[in-house]
Amino acid sequence: MKYYATRADRPLRGEVRVPGDKSISHRAVLFSAMAQGTSHLTGVLDSADVRSTISAVSALGAEIEVVRETRDGLDLRVTGWGGGGPVAPAEAIECGNSGTTARLLMGVLAGWDRHVVLQGDGSLSRRPMARVTDPLVAMGAEFKSRGGLLPVSVRGGSLHPVDHVLTVASAQVKTALLLAGLRAEGCTVVTEPAPSRDHTERMLPAYGVAVGRDKDAHRAWVDGPAYLTAADVAVPADPSSAAFLVAAAVLVPGSDVAMLDIAVNPTRTGFLRVLARMGARVSVDLDDATGGEPTAVLRAHFTEDLRATTVTSEEVPSLIDEVPVLAVVATAASGTTRFEGVRELRVKESDRLMAVAEGLAALGCTVRTGEDWLEIDGPCQLGSAALDSCGDHRLAMAYAVAALVAQEPVTIDHFEAVDVSYPGFVSDLQALSVSAAL
């Protein structure tokens, strides 16, 4: 699907609740499927990626009932497989475009004597899985694949605990190893070079599983064997989705947008800290805690005098999904904005690093990039371009935000990718008085 985006002809104004957090939704569905008993989930993100997890755990024996579908997401009743473990499905499990589904399931399945094949779409099948399978093999599981890519055949079994030291901070890898550790005899430890998202560490205790943490050392651990029990989880709104509306409000003259019930877990709000350094007028008003996560109202205003900044490699794990839209904001900032240590962008749904550089260059910006860095000179006037999202939801939305301040229309191909995380993105823009046409 092509999206024909035009310059905003009026400010963005009003308040909106973006969809439920994708990372938390995946975990709530998966942990409930693993648990003994029936869990009740509210506000689960209704997107292609989360639907992949729902379908996968259903194939593995969990019973899932959609109680209600609302604008805020899905309310689910999930009866898990508990101590009996998952069943071996008759066919391969389709993970779609969801790396979270595939990688977390590898950790779950590693400790059960079942044979399961995980497969994905063309994009997911190009993303590396060895970073998960190699440490799980060290624990005693068996995996077969071609070159560490999907499809992957899993044969779980008896696991032993391992003290894992990751070379790249990754919440998906960390979670997979901790979930496998629940089936091992003893203490499984995961140490990262920098802090990554800690939703797993926050959520597992609600399911009756203690998680040890040393935040200063970026270390987490579980003692196994341990089993989950049912829990009720309310999913807050996704800060990564909110980031696109925050950026749009900061860039479009006269804008004033409030976003409600946003998860403001410190491991997810690096983009807000970067915007603050750039001088963006964004406020964070803490209001409550939802699903074990702190929440807030974010309010973003148009900011005329943005300034460039440097995003260091230590910051990247807390804003990896927001780099594309921060790069768009950088086009309006005075000076050179530099992103360091962003090699991970090359193995997302697309090579995001290359795609962002090429997309901004096509819009008329001066951009430089290397193997793990990106620089944007600003301010620059954006022009017309025909862009391709490469099937990547973050790129599709980042380009749409750029189009709001471009002098001429921008065409974005494969825009349907937004359904992966934010199916209502265009309708929310329209509700905030943005002129947009499909």
- In which element (H, E) is residue 31 found? helix 22-34
Neighbours of 72 (CB within 10 A): 21
- Across the beta sheet with 38-44, what order do the strands follow? 63-70, 73-79, 38-44, 232-234
d(CA 303, CA 299): 12
HSE-CB at 396 with a 13 A cutoff on CA atoms is: 24
- In which element (H, E) is residue 299 found? strand 293-301
HSE-CB at 205 with a 13 A cutoff on CA atoms is: 12
Both structure tokens of 213: 């943490």
d(CA 74, CA 367): 41
Both structure tokens of 198: 């800690």
Both structure tokens of 99: 């790396």
d(CA 268, CA 154): 31
Q: Tell me which residues are annotated as active site.
A: 321
How far apart, in Å, are the Cα atoms of 282 and each of 17, 275, 336? 16, 8, 21
d(CA 362, CA 262): 33
How far apart, in Å, are the Cα atoms of 220 and each of 109, 193, 217, 273, 348? 20, 12, 9, 25, 25
> Which distant-in-sequence residues (6+ apart) come within 8 Å of 231 by Cβ?
31, 32, 35, 39, 206, 207, 208
